[in-house]
């Protein structure tokens, strides 16, 4: 079983408090999602490999660390995952971006895939799957299964809010995936919404309701 990190950093807790508030408008919501994604990206890249490089400072020769040239990819689950991409790109700007489109059937709560476009060499990359909400876990589980079908071996999942049931289901389905969670909430309501949560992340990011 790989690592699950529940973020407890005060900046993340503060920013998640802002996006939970129903009074927060689209512009600030989107900005906060981007900033939270950046902070989670910082944490989830903690184990990237480094290599030694010789440089000369203005004073002396020295050995410095540099990222070992590992290829990375960011894969948002559409729509809401798109909100996390700019924050991720702030820290890993040369990562390629793939897209997996999924929506949850409102009756069955099962994910329906409607789009998949991935970098041609995705199987060679460390992949960061991003989606603000992990509710039943169905969307994340299916998106990661799709990436594995494309040959991906090193996959991490980052979300902002998770329900305990979704986190457990994702760990069970994909025990080889590191998971970074902004906040672990209480439960799911009868419509599959996270409680207390923040409502429908896609609608709040794109202002569609």
Planar angle of CA 151, 155, 156, nearest 5 degrees: 165
Residues identified as active-site: 104, 108, 200, 203
Which span (1-9, 48-56, 120-128, 200-208) binds ligand URA, by CB under 6 A? 200-208
Judged by CB under 6 A, the chain residues 23 through 82 that form the site for ligand URA are 80
Q: Which is nearer to ligand URA, 73 or 77 (CB)?
A: 77
Interaction of residue 134 with ligand PRP, rule CB under 6 A: yes
Q: Show Cβ contacts of residue 39 under 8 Å, excluding neighbours closer than 6 positions.
A: 7, 9, 11, 12, 15, 87
Selection from ligand URA, ligand PRP, none that 87 binds (CB < 5 to 8 A by kind) is none
Q: What is the DSSP letter of 109?
A: -
Name 111's Cβ contacts closer than 8 Å, sequence gap at least 6. Answer: 102, 103, 104, 105, 138, 139, 142, 143
> Considering only residues 74, 167, 201, 205, which one is a binding residue for ligand URA as defined by CB under 6 A?
201
Q: Which of residues 75-134 bind ligand URA (CB under 6 A)?
A: 80, 133
Q: Which stretch binds ligand PRP (CB under 6 A): 22-30, 34-42, 65-73, 198-206?
A: 198-206
Strand, helix or coil at 99? Answer: strand
Binding mask 104-123 for ligand PRP (x = CB under 6 A): x----x-x------------
CB-neighbour burial class of residue 70 (10 A; exposed 0-12, middle 13-18, buried 19+): middle
- Per DSSP, the residues of 24-54 read --HHHHHHHHHHHHHHHHHHHTTT--EEEEE
Which residues does residue 126 pair with via DSSP β-bridges, in sequence order? 72, 154
Question: Contacting ligand URA (CB under 6 A), which of 135, 140, 152, 167?
Answer: 135
Which one of 7-15, 17-25, 152-160, 194-202 is the stretch in contact with ligand URA (CB under 6 A)?
Answer: 194-202
Interface positions with ligand PRP (CB under 6 A): 77-80, 102-104, 109, 111, 131-140, 166, 192, 200-202
């Amino acid at each position: 079983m790989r690592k699950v990190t529940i973020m407890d950093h005060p900046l993340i807790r503060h920013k998640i408090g802002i996006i939970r508030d129903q009074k927060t408008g689209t512009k600030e919501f989107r900005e906060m999602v981007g900033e939270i994604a950046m902070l989670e990206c910082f944490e989830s890249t903690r184990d990237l490999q480094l290599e030694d490089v010789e440089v000369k400072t203005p004073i002396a020769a020295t050995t410095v660390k540099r990222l070992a040239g590992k290829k990375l990819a960011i894969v948002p689950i559409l729509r809401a995952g798109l909100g996390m991409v700019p924050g991720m790109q702030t820290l890993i700007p040369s990562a390629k971006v793939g897209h997996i489109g999924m929506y949850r059937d409102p009756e069955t709560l099962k994910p329906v895939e409607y789009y998949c476009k991935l970098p041609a060499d995705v199987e060679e990359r460390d992949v960061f799957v991003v989606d603000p909400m992990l509710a039943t876990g169905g969307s994340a589980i299916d998106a990661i299964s799709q990436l594995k079908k494309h040959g991906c071996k090193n996959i991490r999942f980052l979300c902002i809010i998770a329900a305990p049931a979704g986190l457990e289901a994702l760990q069970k389905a994909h025990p080889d995936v590191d998971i970074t969670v902004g906040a672990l909430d209480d439960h799911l309501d009868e419509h599959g919404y996270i409680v207390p949560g923040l409502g429908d992340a896609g609608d709040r990011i794109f202002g569609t309701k």
